[in-house]
Amino acid sequence: MKVSFVLLAHEKPEQLKDLLGSLLSAGSNVFVHHDASSGGDLSAAVADWGYDQLPGNIYFAERVKVVWGEWSIVQATLNCMAAIQQHDVDSDYFMLISGSCMPVKPIQLLEHFLAESGQDHIEAVNAEKNKWVTAGLQKQRWSKYHFFNWRYQTFWFDWSLKLQRKLKIKRAIPLNHTAHMGSQWWCLRRSTVFSVLDLYRSHPALKTFYRRTWVPDELFFQTMVANLIPNEQISDELITRYKFNNWGIPRVYYDDDYPELLGENRFFVRKVSYRAHQLRDRLARIAPLDISEFANLLEGAEAERLYLEERSAMLRGIEQHRWHSLDSSYENPYDYVKSIPNPMLILIGSEPETKYQALLELNKLQHTVVYGDLFDNTEVGAGYSHRHGLIAEPDAVTLMQHQWHQQLGDIAFQNPGKTIIFSLGDNALRYLEILRWNSDCHVIMIDRSRVAPINKALMEDLYLKSKVLHLLQNRNCELSRLSLPLVGELVASLDGKYTTSRSFNSFLRFYQAKVRWPALLSAEHNHWDFLKSIYSKIVVFVYDEEHALEGVQAFLKDKLGSELYHDPFSVASQDDNSLDWHYYLADLSHLNAKVNQGVLAFALNVSSIGYLDTLRWKRNLMVVALEDEKVQDKSASQLTFTLRGAQQVYQRAASGHAFRRLDVLMRDRRCSYAAVPPFEQRWIEEELYSFLQFTPLKVNAPLAGESIKFSAS
């Protein structure tokens, strides 16, 4: 097995001395194309260096002026192939390299690798099916004519493409070939090189076509090989290591990179700086070594090994903390939050005391750092006393909320490996919009420890959680809902034990299974089906004036054991998503059943009948319109003087019209509907008894703590 090299060089002869010396000393043949635009006589320099006495032979191909991005670089390579066909008799593989490449392993080791491989090593990606170019043109590299060089003639290059798009010009590759693209640097078998050269010579249309493509060195050989050679005989494992940064600038190796290159798993690297004289000299000595000599070299490179080990540890540390670097501060908040390595546990609720008690319990766990409402609108870290590590004072709310994701990153950076626990209140949605995409984040909606009277504060808490549930239907984070006693039980089970975030979340999921809140139904539903699934019967009293509800509340309490909740949707602002409230109604119904053991009854002002557009499809729901037809619509007018004359504004009460809209809405429904005068108690009772299907109680109202039992009618 013998490997020889195709060298495309534009450097000065002196800059090629180390590379040529190493390859020729190893016994390899080198077929050189020295750019016609480059100065110096390379053949004379080779003779002066005495390289004609080395085991390998060097041959010079016909020179052309090479221009980046154009056909000339392919022509230079083909000229080297012609020299191979003319002079080489014993090489099995030919490897394409540049003047900035250097070997990092013995040529003998490369030959052993190629003998085992037996394949052509070239990156050839089907460019008609896959995207290979990260930024810039791909299909238009061959489907359009290219007469101008983008690097030197940008205006004309862009203008030409624009014109061809308008003319709908679309070129096809000759011979019905499928376009393939890949790295310029390949290593091909002798038979493949000759097959490519013969096909090219026998079809002049190939040169005519590819001369007007853009960057053909990443297209021509890749397409030819992929269409000539069976796929199983092609490997995309390249022999040369090359790297680019995010701006497309290639990696350049210097003297201090020698330990890294000793550990390189490929056979060549590019680009090696011409000023790295010590590095180039040391690498040049490697190519002629046999395998045993190279093994001895590696065994004796203990200083380099220790240096590389230390450097690798440093780079790992830098990479581990890259998310917190200045560079990462320019990332969008979504990517930044997802890069935070610490697990996070976020408590959601609007009741400060409930959150405080839960935070106290969670603070008993090891490997955690606990804060209150970090991004509260009135106080940084509100609701909990711990403030260590916060850069903002309690009153610096604006500072804390500005670039808040980076503030959270600072906390994580100061507490490596710890689970960050904090709470969010009424403004939770702003932060959960981003935090929900962190897969190592667990959101817990925390509920009070006991069933308490349902008041506006509790309704606000339930509605906040309803909005959170609606938002978190799409998420990567974990979601749980726990009562305060369950939090204490969870902490007690983990007390004194080390636990990872994975096991911690597993415990939370286990405890969540004990909770049967209707609001935690499957996400695979729409809000109409969700409302239909609420098991409680619901009665909605639609009213215009408060006096219309006189007697209704007492009747519900005495006869049905139920409370009347006034305008429960008043906790929702008008600009909230209309889908947020259906979880809230399910929670309210569930709590009402625990507290009152009866139906859910609430009064809805006639101005809010928009909610009934969805509720009317619930079968076990009744709408009672309390319209006092004896009351005439009130009207008013106001006359004012203006510079343009007197103007009179006439206003008319719209309650009557609103009830008419309600009648129209209820024409198509699944619920029960009744329109009754507000002060006709008997009519109201009959409608409700018929809907609820039970016989009125014959006893006085129960004492506190006693249950109400209904007898079936």
Query: What is the SS3 string spanning 132-170?
Result: CCCCCCCCHHHHCCCCCCCCCCHHHHHHHHHHHHHCCCC
pLDDT at 247: 73
Alpha-carbon radius of gyration of the chain = 40
Q: Mean pLDDT highest for which of 270-284, 503-517, 620-634, 655-669?
A: 270-284
CATH architecture group of domain 333-515: 3-Layer(aba) Sandwich (3.40)
Q: Mean pLDDT highest for which of 320-329, 572-581, 618-627, 635-644?
A: 618-627
- Above 70 in pLDDT, residue 354? yes
- Above 50 in pLDDT, residue 518? no
Domain spans of the chain, in order of start: 3-289, 297-322, 333-515, 527-694
The answer to whether domain 3-289 and domain 527-694 are alike in fold is no
Distance (Å, whole) CA 597 – CA 302: 79
Distance (Å, whole) CA 322 – CA 328: 7
Nearest CA among 262, 3, 38 for reference residue 120 = 3
- Above 80 in pLDDT, residue 39? yes
By the 8 A CB rule, do 565 and 601 touch? yes
pLDDT at 532: 74
Share of the chain above pLDDT 70, in %: 88
**Tens-place pLDDT, residues 371-397:** 999 999 999 999 998 888 887 788 999
- Above 90 in pLDDT, residue 228? yes
Among 62-66, 206-210, 548-552, the minimum mean pLDDT is found in: 548-552
Greater confidence (116 vs 511) lies with: 116
Nearest CA among 577, 563, 567 for reference residue 466 = 577
Give mean pLDDT, residues 304-312. Answer: 92
Give mean pLDDT, residues 682-687. Answer: 80
The rounded Cα 399 to chain-centroid distance in angstroms is: 27
Contacts of residue 88, Cβ cutoff 8 Å, sequence gap at least 6 = 4, 29, 31, 59
pLDDT at 593: 82
The burial class, CB within 10 Å (0-12 / 13-18 / 19+), for 527 is middle
pLDDT at 138: 93
Share of the chain above pLDDT 90, in %: 58
pLDDT at 704: 34
By the 8 A CB rule, do 204 and 59 touch? no
pLDDT at 562: 83
pLDDT at 653: 47
pLDDT at 81: 97
Among 107-121, 393-407, 616-630, the minimum mean pLDDT is found in: 616-630
- Above 70 in pLDDT, residue 234? yes
pLDDT at 524: 56
Q: What is the CATH number of domain 527-694?
A: 3.40.50
The rounded Cα 528 to chain-centroid distance in angstroms is: 31
Distance (Å, whole) CA 455 – CA 450: 14
Nearest CA among 300, 294, 308 for reference residue 258 = 308
Contacts of residue 546, Cβ cutoff 8 Å, sequence gap at least 6 = none
Among 79-93, 148-162, 480-494, 576-590, the minimum mean pLDDT is found in: 576-590
Task: Output the average pLDDT for the chain.
Answer: 86
Across 195-318, where does the E strand assignment appear? 234-235, 240-241, 268-269
pLDDT at 579: 64
Among 332-341, 514-523, 535-544, the minimum mean pLDDT is found in: 514-523
Greater confidence (654 vs 83) lies with: 83
Residue 291: pLDDT band (50, 70, 90) is: very high
Q: Mean pLDDT highest for which of 164-173, 569-578, 613-622?
A: 164-173
Distance (Å, whole) CA 389 – CA 317: 22
**Tens-place pLDDT, residues 687-699:** 888 888 754 443 3
- Above 70 in pLDDT, residue 149? yes
Give mean pLDDT, residues 527-550. Answer: 83
By the 8 A CB rule, do 97 and 108 touch? no
pLDDT at 519: 44
pLDDT at 574: 67
Distance (Å, whole) CA 100 – CA 123: 20
Contacts of residue 248, Cβ cutoff 8 Å, sequence gap at least 6 = 135
**Tens-place pLDDT, residues 424-458:** 999 999 999 999 999 999 999 998 876 667 888 88
Q: Are strands 234-235 and 3-9 parallel, antiparallel or unpaired?
A: unpaired
Give mean pLDDT, residues 90-115. Answer: 97
CATH architecture group of domain 3-289: Alpha-Beta Complex (3.90)
Query: Residue 421 is encoded by which pair of tokens?
Result: 């626990």
Task: Indicate the helix (H) or strand (E) that contains 711.
Answer: strand 711-712
Query: Residue 566 is encoded by which pair of tokens?
Result: 């006034």
User: In sequence order, what DSSP letters do the residues of 593-647 get, joined into one string?
Assistant: HHHHSS-EEEEEEGGGGGGHHHHTT-TTEEEEEE--TTSPPPEEEEEEEETTEEE
Residue 685: pLDDT band (50, 70, 90) is: confident
Give mean pLDDT, residues 250-256. Answer: 94
Q: Mean pLDDT highest for which of 122-126, 579-583, 604-608, 664-668?
A: 122-126
Greater confidence (580 vs 465) lies with: 465
- Above 90 in pLDDT, residue 288? yes
**Tens-place pLDDT, residues 560-616:** 778 889 999 888 876 665 567 888 888 888 888 877 766 899 999 988 888 898 889
Query: Is this structure's pTM higher than 0.75?
Result: no
Give mean pLDDT, residues 514-525. Answer: 50
- Above 60 in pLDDT, residue 631? no
Residue 702: pLDDT band (50, 70, 90) is: very low
Among 135-149, 340-354, 508-522, 529-543, the minimum mean pLDDT is found in: 508-522
Strand order of the sheet with strand 672-676?
A: 564-566, 600-605, 538-543, 621-626, 672-676
Examine residue 630 and say whether the peptide bond preceding it is cis (omega within 30 degrees of 0). Answer: no
Residue 325: pLDDT band (50, 70, 90) is: confident
